[in-house]
């Protein structure tokens, strides 16, 4: 458990720069940077860029000096490393959070770290961005998308171990803990309630926010056939520990229950955008599963 700083080697703006990281948590890193007067604008997803002139000062303040390879190794082992392939999506997530709650970047960063966990295949950063994009489509179609709904999208799979409804319950508890001090207890309770609704995607008829959130989350079912196939493959990869016959039975049961619903989408805009394609896609996957 340490804050680490490597040797300044990277030239820019007339000086050399080092990286300041934590091998424990972003909260520890931000707290250390704040104590040392390192500006928040120097933070870049998993590290602070610090000039060579501040290196000795940071070490004196408690940062452990390591060489670059050791810093990367320990950052990767901590789970906080943002890979190059992830950076565009993580940068976009940071931008979206800044639009939503600009005064509380640390909350967005904690959620982004959770969404970037290495065991996730489908339920990762791309899924979160897609749900946020679909909320915008629903809003453009006339549905009311409140801040609580957007926050619930950010939190709805923040805990993902592959167990329903335990994941949703844990995500709801996390939402209440993170957001209570930020948006107030009442709004945090509403966000947590909405997260729990995504356990079965069956909002009550008078739950307008829940209906919008569920339609955005299930919108993946109504994508182009090639996008749906990719989604189905990603879901299988997340459950690769489940034997094939068991997965086929469980997945077929889920898909059959979806097709048995009078409507997959419960907002007028969601039904218009995705209902027809979703029924084709889900029916085709179900046929493949039953055919073996």
- Tens-place pLDDT, residues 275-287: 999 999 999 999 9
142/223 same-domain check: yes
Mean pLDDT score across all residues of the chain: 95
**Contact status, residue 219 vs residue 141, Cβ threshold 8 Å:** no
Query: Does residue 75 sit in the same domain as residue 100?
Result: no
**Shared domain check, 276 and 139:** yes
Q: For residue 189, count CB atoms less than 10 angstroms from its CB and return exposed for 0-12, middle for 13-18, buried for 19 or more.
A: middle
- In whole angstroms, give the CA distance from residue 276 to residue 51: 56
Q: Is the predicted pLDDT of residue 1 greater than 70, yes or no? A: no
pLDDT(12) > 90: no
| Domain termination residue (choose one: 81, 114, 134) | 81
Global pTM value: 0.85
Do 285 and 183 fall within a single domain? yes
- The last residue of a domain, from among 81, 109, 129: 81
Mean pLDDT of 11-40: 93
Residues 8 and 91 in one domain: no
**Residue 94 sits in the same domain as residue 50:** no
Q: Do 77 and 221 have their domain in common?
A: no
Domain that includes residue 118, residue range? 87-291
Q: In the listed set 43, 64, 81, which residue is the last one of a domain according to the structure?
A: 81
- How many structural domains compose the chain? 2
User: Cα-Cα-Cα-Cα dihedral of 232, 234, 239, 243, to 10°?
Assistant: 60
> 104 and 50, same structural domain?
no
Do both 136 and 14 map to the same domain? no
Structural tokens at position 31: 């707290």
Check pLDDT > 80 for residue 292. no
Residue 145: which pLDDT band, with cuts at 50, 70 and 90? very high
Domain holding 235: CATH number?
1.10.1300.10
Write the pLDDT tens digit of every residue in 154-165.
999 999 998 989
C-beta separation of 131 from 153 below 8 A: yes
């Amino acid at each position: 458990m340490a804050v680490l700083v490597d040797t300044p080697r990277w030239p820019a703006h007339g000086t050399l720069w080092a990286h300041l990281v934590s091998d424990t948590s972003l909260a520890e890193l931000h707290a250390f940077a704040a104590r040392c007067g390192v500006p928040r604008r120097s933070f870049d997803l998993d590290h602070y860029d610090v000039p060579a002139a501040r290196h000795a000062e940071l070490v004196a303040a408690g940062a452990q000096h390591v060489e670059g390879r050791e810093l990367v190794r320990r950052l990767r082992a901590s789970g906080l490393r943002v890979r190059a392939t992830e950076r565009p999506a993580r940068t976009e997530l940071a931008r979206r959070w800044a639009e939503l709650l600009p005064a509380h970047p640390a909350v967005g960063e904690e959620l982004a770290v959770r969404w970037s966990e290495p065991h996730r295949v489908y339920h990762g950063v791309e899924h979160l961005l897609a749900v946020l994009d679909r909320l915008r489509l629903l809003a453009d179609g006339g549905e009311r998308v409140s801040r609580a709904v957007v926050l619930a999208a950010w939190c709805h799979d923040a805990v993902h171990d592959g167990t329903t409804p335990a994941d949703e319950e844990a995500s709801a508890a996390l939402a209440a803990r993170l957001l209570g001090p930020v948006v107030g207890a009442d709004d945090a309770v509403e966000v947590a309630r909405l997260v729990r609704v995504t356990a079965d995607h069956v909002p009550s008829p008078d739950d307008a926010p829940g209906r919008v959130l569920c339609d955005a989350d299930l919108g993946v079912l109504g994508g182009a056939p090639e996008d749906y196939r990719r989604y189905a493959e990603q879901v299988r990869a997340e459950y690769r520990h489940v034997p094939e016959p068991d997965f086929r039975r469980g997945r077929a049961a889920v898909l059959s229950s979806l097709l048995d619903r009078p409507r997959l989408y419960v907002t007028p805009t969601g039904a218009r955008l995705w209902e027809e394609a979703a029924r084709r896609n889900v029916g085709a996957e179900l046929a493949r599963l039953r055919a073996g």
